Structure 1
Amino acid sequence: MFAWMVWTTPVAVFFTCIALMLAGMTLWEVKAPTIERKGFLPMVTTRGDRLFIGLLGAAYINLAFVGMAGRFVEWFSLEQEPSIWIAFVLSMGWLLLVMRKG
């Protein structure tokens, strides 16, 4: 069923983190309903809104990194493509920033 996707360790960790975040946010919402607030995003958001925006951003960061990895080798004269873990750390940092300050 999932043979079409390359399930490397970083990919599995990324999707596991997303599943855990969704489960955690569901429990958190049931226990303590959210309050809308305004952060650096140009709109009033709830926790769920910020999670959605953060996950979209994280996905785009990962896709951009994968798409640019070949260019990074050329631009920075690297011997091999940079580790996908760099994109994972950047995307989780973005997600934390949006959840906390967004």
Structure 2
Amino acid sequence: MEWMSWTVPTAAFFAVIGLILVGMTVWELSSPSVLRRGLLPIATTRGDRLFIGLLGSAYLHLLVIGVTDWSIWVASALSLVWLLAVMRWG
């Protein structure tokens, strides 16, 4: 049986996602969010925008890698910009 080989970038990625979730939990407990409308066509809370942003970032990253010959770092940067835009204005 082969086991998955964890690399440092993979471990760092999941560690950052975990820290984001812990940070959002603490933020929500200390200051509950309210529904608001932004660029997204639905009313969302901070948690909703985080979920939508992470999901959209994953798909954007895969799209850029799949249809362009751009560097993985460019795809990562675009995904991060998308996530931050959704969190700020979504």
Q: Which deviates further from its counterpart, 44-53 or 12-21? A: 12-21
Q: Which has the higher contact order (CA 8 A, sep 6+)?
A: 1
1:66: Cα distance to partner? 2.5
How many equivalent residue pairs?
89
Matching of residues 57-68 of structure 1 within 5 Å: 57-68=56-67
Partners of 1:48 and 1:18 in 2: CA distance: 13
The C-alpha deviation readout for 1:54-83, integer Å capped at 9, x for no partner, is 0000110111122224xx2xxxxxxxxx43
Segments of structure 2 that go 5 or more residues without pairing to the other structure are: none
1:99: Cα distance to partner? 0.4
- Given residue 77 of structure 2, which amino acid in structure 1 is its aligned partner? V
The answer to whether 1:42 aligns with 2:41 is yes
Structure 1 ranges of 4+ moved more than 3 A: 5-8, 11-14
Q: Given the two structures, how large is their TM-score scaled by the length of structure 1?
A: 0.75
| RMSD across aligned positions (CA) | 2.1
Q: Given the two structures, how large is their TM-score scaled by the length of structure 2?
A: 0.83
Partners of 1:12 and 1:66 in 2: CA distance: 20
Give the match's secondary structure for 1:37: coil
